[in-house]
Amino acid sequence: MGLSTAGMEMLVALASHELMLFASVGILVIGFDDLFFDILWFVTRDRDAAPRYLRDHRPRAPLAGPLAIFVPAWDEAKVLPAMIRRTLAAWQGEDFRIYLGCYPNDAATLFAVSPLVAGDPRLRLVIGDAEGPTTKGDNLNRLWAAMGGDERVEGIWFAGIVLHDAEDIVHRGELALYRAELTRHAMVQIPVLPLLGLGQQWVAGHYADEFAEAHGKDLALRTRIGAPLPSAGVGCALTRHALTLLSIERGGQPFRADSLTEDYEIGILVGTHGLGTAFVAAIDDAGDWIVSRGAFPETIETAVRQKSRWIAGIALAGWDHLGWAGPQDGGWRARWMLWRDRRAPLAALVLLAAYAALVVGAAGWIGHALFGWQARPPGAMLQYLMGLSATLLLWRLGMRGHFAARAYGWRQGLRSIPRAFVANIVAMLAARRAVAVYWRMLRSGRVVWDKTPHGERDALPVPALPPGRNG
């Protein structure tokens, strides 16, 4: 064996050992965190409880007054008109007004929605002064200001604010559920389910798997233990008083304009201010689950862009904006949830090490076959760590498949297992891009709305199956 080959053998063996050790320890840290969360979910759920219907939520005196629906939009000409028509049809007889936030340099969207706005008093077009895109938070603040101006001029008072995106499919019972729950909570989040149409089984499908678990387990447990609840930015409603409080603290702008994830932050802030938040899953009187549906990216490139924005906004910039909750802000429960929300970069690094260990290990076996390198099996301790890590990974895949099956049927539950590989690739690429996005934000001091593009097929997506019973 040549000297160079011997050196390569030692290098490959050392790299393989260190990568496997780092990946195993990282998987254990994250895996035990998830396992404890899962156990807590199991022991706190009411297994005998039947699904709650909308009529079970209705108080004697539901929230009275009109609701303002905030829909920020940039370059949404292909999907926004269809969303408006669906929403107006679904909420016939409800007292609401939709505020559409557009930009003066987005002529296509303005031309697309103007005929609808002119023909229906429930629609209010708000055109900002600045050219777009600014940020979603800035857009929402302009809608907040426009709503306040309407209140002063018309002598009305909006009781609550509902957040939705330009491509959403709303549920007919959504506003009735908000009116019932906002009498008890300052913020209410309903389940959000990505749509799975033809050709959307892999990249968009991994969103379906993640949201099915997050909105079938994670948010439900957060509500039970009284931890701060992040807003998904859609299918979410807040009381007028809660946003007024944040507006006073922020100089008249309740939404953070320099954030990539202003929806997440506002949910956490409402909770850490001691105001009640709740995740609510309910069935309407016709037997349909009250959920918000929407289209998600179908390609790796667009998924990486979207998830890098989430990671940069929640895990990196969110640390700057929110810090870590103190005893008066929810104590250990709030800090634990913030850790879980911000661990994405660490998880991506662990995944990268695990896949690199597989590649380097394969190189070692190739060297053994071609050059007679000595086979170096892992030591007893490393084998134990790897076995424990593999067990936790199998548990994680089982939980993901369980919730995907509850939300979309058993076929999608099975597909969620190979889709985990897609999710891992997107997570690693997104974490890398998120660091670059965050660095540019720090250097320039400028934040731009890096929104997800939507096409015409998103306007008429194939509906998914209803979600299973919330645990």
Domain-embedded: residue 316: yes
Domain-embedded: residue 460: no
Token digits for 395? 């548990």
Q: Does residue 376 share a domain with residue 264?
A: no
Contact criterion met (CB below 8 Å) for 269 and 263: no
Residue spans of the chain under pLDDT 50: 1-3, 327, 462-466, 468-471
Alpha helices in 250-372 (DSSP H): 262-272, 300-311, 317-322, 331-342, 344-371
Percent of all residues in the chain with a pLDDT value above 70, rounded to a whole number: 90
Domain-embedded: residue 273: yes
Q: Does residue 372 share a domain with residue 262?
A: no
pLDDT in the model for residue 189:
97
Task: Name 346's Cβ contacts closer than 8 Å, sequence gap at least 6.
Answer: 26, 30
Place of tokens 């160079």: 4
Helix (H, G, I), strand (E, B) or coil at 125: strand
Cα dihedral sign for 35, 36, 38, 43? positive
Q: Does residue 118 share a domain with residue 193?
A: yes
CATH number assigned to the domain comprising residue 148: 3.90.550.10
Domain-embedded: residue 299: yes
Q: Does residue 359 share a domain with residue 247?
A: no
Domain-embedded: residue 409: yes
pLDDT in the model for residue 51:
76
Q: Does residue 359 share a domain with residue 311?
A: no
What is the residue type of 289? Answer: W
Cβ neighbour number for residue 190 with a 10 Å cutoff: 26
pLDDT in the model for residue 328:
53
Task: Name 427's Cβ contacts closer than 8 Å, sequence gap at least 6.
Answer: 307, 344, 347, 348, 351
pLDDT in the model for residue 200:
63
pLDDT in the model for residue 70:
98
Which DSSP string do the residues of 416-436 spell out, in sequence order? Answer: HHHHHHHHHHHHHHHHHHHHH
| Cα–Cα distance, 36 to 208 (Å, whole number) | 23
Q: Does residue 382 share a domain with residue 262?
A: no
pLDDT in the model for residue 406:
92
| Cα–Cα distance, 74 to 183 (Å, whole number) | 33
Cα dihedral sign for 145, 147, 153, 155? negative
Contact criterion met (CB below 8 Å) for 206 and 329: no
Q: Does residue 314 share a domain with residue 431?
A: no
Q: Does residue 440 share a domain with residue 390?
A: yes
Q: Does residue 226 share a domain with residue 131?
A: yes
Domain-embedded: residue 390: yes
pLDDT in the model for residue 286:
87
Number of domains within the chain: 2
pLDDT in the model for residue 371:
65
Q: Does residue 383 share a domain with residue 297?
A: no
Domain-embedded: residue 335: no
pLDDT in the model for residue 117:
97
| Cα–Cα distance, 33 to 11 (Å, whole number) | 33
Contact criterion met (CB below 8 Å) for 428 and 304: no
* Integer CA distances (angstroms), 112 to 3, 226, 364, in order: 70, 43, 60
Domain-embedded: residue 456: no
Closest by Cα among 155, 152, 181, 159 to 97: 159
Q: Does residue 35 share a domain with residue 63?
A: no
| Cα–Cα distance, 178 to 65 (Å, whole number) | 12
| Cα–Cα distance, 378 to 375 (Å, whole number) | 10
Q: Does residue 184 share a domain with residue 63?
A: yes
Q: Which domain holds residue 70?
A: 54-328
